Amino acid sequence: MTETVTDPAFLTGQYSAHNYAPLPVVVAHATGVWVTDVHGRSYLDMLAAYSALNFGHRHPRLIAAAQRQLERVTLVSRAFDHDQFGPFCAELAELAGMQMVLPMNTGAEAVETAIKVSRKWGYAVRGVPADQALIIVFDGNFHGRTTTIISFSSDKDARDEFGPYTPGFVSVPFGDLAALSRVLADPETGPRVVAVLVEPIQGEAGVVVPPPGFLAGVRSLCSSHGALMIADEIQSGLGRTGHTFACEAEDVVPDAYLLGKALGGGIVPVSAMVSSREVLGVLKPGQHGSTFGGNPLACAIAREVIAMLREGTFQTRSAELGARMHERLGQLPEEVVSGVHGRGLWAGVSFTSRSGREVCEQLATRGVLAKETHGNTIRLAPPLVITESELDWALDTIEAVVTS
Ligand SMILES: Cc1ncc(COP(=O)(O)O)c(C=O)c1O
């Protein structure tokens, strides 16, 4: 008799493309900050799906919003309007202090949207000669995985052997205003620059915070050179840093926000470019879109996310508990930890000689889930609903593993 293999981990290894190397934990249930694996073992989720779970797993308000909408209508495509769409756009625009919204699904699609819109704005409004537009990005960036986006990545794994690459991007060191200024002042490149695309804090790079004044400097250089400042807040936005938008830490208002991850409440993918009428107004019917972008279920959930963020409590929790987390992480021994960076409930911890992967594997055996990045760094981004005692327990566990 042949036996059917039903072990999920085996099936993943056998049938899924190996584009990820997950920790050996197979999740079956999750509530709040806790996930439970197929063997009934609990783990505290200190990654929160790269901040897509800012409100925790299955937040009751978000599940209720999803269930209400599931009973009504889930998809119409943008061929027709629906009663969640206009209110979603208006509420998100208001939260961001902007005028218009273009919804998509994944973060990468929001970034692609910004690239297309900036180029079109450059040609239509700025008078840049056809096909000459340039967008400035920063070394160490992570904006997604499409062929155009990886064309300006400095990560070899993300980029190598996926060419030919999309032209039209110039990368300068993150945090280096002089380098940005040189590209903008160069008579060959400067007049062609339509936008500067920046993560206010580089998440994938290891939660790298730029030097104070950097974002304000980018804002002012963009304004003086007539280029759009596009803030990719897909990971940094929506409460993660103790602010609704990470740009707020320097009182900076960009020309556009790119949002994703937490906007879908950890339930469905929802992303958006949020900007002014002048910028998003360049698009005409037929020039951009997505079958699922702005669907009724996505809009209903995102509207609840926006309502929760309007109350401000998640931002406050992130700021307060984040201060506690950074204080504790800052006390880890220097011989083992070479740096702790981040803001709010978001931290990168770099090790002098240990691999991030090995630390994450040890953390998992003790019931804490985190994720390594770039060799010797781990990222911590717990759901913002974490309690003080849960956070303390996670930090005790991290301390025990790091000093073992
Ligand atoms: C800053 C930033 N932009 C864009 C993306 C891409 O988002 P997605 O994976 O939903 O395409 C990510 C994902 O980690 C990100 O951190």
Ligand 1, pocket-test mutation among 147, 261, 268, most atoms within 8 A of CB: 261
Residues 193 and 223: beta-carbon distance below 8 Å: no
Distance 52 CA to ligand 1 centre (A): 10
pLDDT in tens, 146-170: 999 999 999 999 999 999 999 999 9
- 76 vs 94: CA distance, rounded Å: 25
- Every domain of the chain with CATH number 3.40.640.10 lies at 72-310
Q: Which residues of the chain have pLDDT under 70?
A: 1-3
- Ligand 1 atom at minimal distance to the Cα of residue 52: 10
Strands 100-104, 347-351: pairing is: unpaired
Residue 200: CB within 6 Å of ligand 1?
A: no
pLDDT value for 2:
58
Tell me how far apart the alpha carbons of residues 249 and 238 are, in angstroms, rounded to a whole number: 13
- Residue 20 C-beta-side C-alpha neighbours within 13 Å: 10
Which amino acid is it at 376? N
pLDDT at 93: 98
Name the residue with the closest Cα to ligand 1, atom 4: 143
**255 Cβ closer than 6 Å to some ligand 1 atom:** no
**138 Cβ closer than 6 Å to some ligand 1 atom:** no
Q: What's the confidence (pLDDT) of residue 324?
A: 97
- CA-nearest residue, atom 13 of ligand 1: 144
What are the start and end residues of each CATH 3.90.1150.10 domain in the chain? 4-59+313-403
**Does the Cβ of 268 fall within 6 Å of ligand 1?**
no
Cis peptide before 164 (omega within 30 of 0): yes
Residue 199, ligand 1, Cβ within 6 A: yes
Report residue 361: phi and psi, to 5°: -65, -40
Nearest residue to 245 (alpha-carbon basis) of 220, 256, 152: 256
Name which of 116, 129, 260, 131 is nearest 197 in CA terms. Answer: 116
Ligand 1 pocket check for 234: Cβ under 6 Å: yes
- pLDDT for the residue 375: 87
Q: Known catalytic residues?
A: 142, 232, 261
Is domain 72-310 given the CATH code 3.40.50.880 in the classification?
no
Q: Is the CB of 152 under 6 A from ligand 1?
A: no
Instruction: Please give the Cα distance from 25 to 22 (Å, whole number).
Output: 8
pLDDT given at position 365:
97
Within the chain, how many helices (H) and strands (E) appear? Answer: 14, 15
Q: How high is the pLDDT of residue 3? A: 63
Tell me how far the alpha carbon of residue 206 is from its chain's centroid.
13
Q: Compute the half-sphere exposure of residue 212: CA atoms within 13 Å on the CB side of its CA.
A: 0
Q: What is the pLDDT of residue 163?
A: 97
Query: Encoding tokens for residue 402?
Result: 């790091």
Please state the atom number of ligand 1 nearest to the C-alpha of residue 269.
10
- Of the residues 147, 174, 235, 374, which should be mutated to test ligand 1's pocket, given the most ligand atoms within 8 Å of the CB? 235
Q: What is the pLDDT of residues 80-90, one digit of tens each?
A: 999 999 999 99
Bridge partners (DSSP) listed for residue 31: 34
Cα–Cα separations (whole angstroms), residue 331 to 310, 385, 393, 403:
34, 24, 16, 11
Q: How far is the CA of 343 from the centre of ligand 1 (A)?
A: 18
344 lines ligand 1 (CB under 6 A): no
User: What architecture is the 4-59+313-403 domain classified under in CATH?
Assistant: Alpha-Beta Complex (3.90)
Quick one: 362 exposed, middle or buried, by C-beta within 10 A (0-12, 13-18, 19+)?
A: middle
Q: Each residue of 269-287: pLDDT tens digit?
A: 999 999 999 999 999 999 9
Residue 204 Cα: closest atom of ligand 1: 16
| pTM for this prediction | 0.98
Distance (angstroms) between ligand 1 centre and the Cα of 403 equals 32
- Comparing CA positions, the residue from 273, 256, 320, 260 lying closest to residue 50 is 260
For residue 50, the ligand 1 atom closest to its alpha carbon is 14
Query: What's the 269 CA to ligand 1 centre distance in angstroms?
Result: 11
111 lines ligand 1 (CB under 6 A): yes
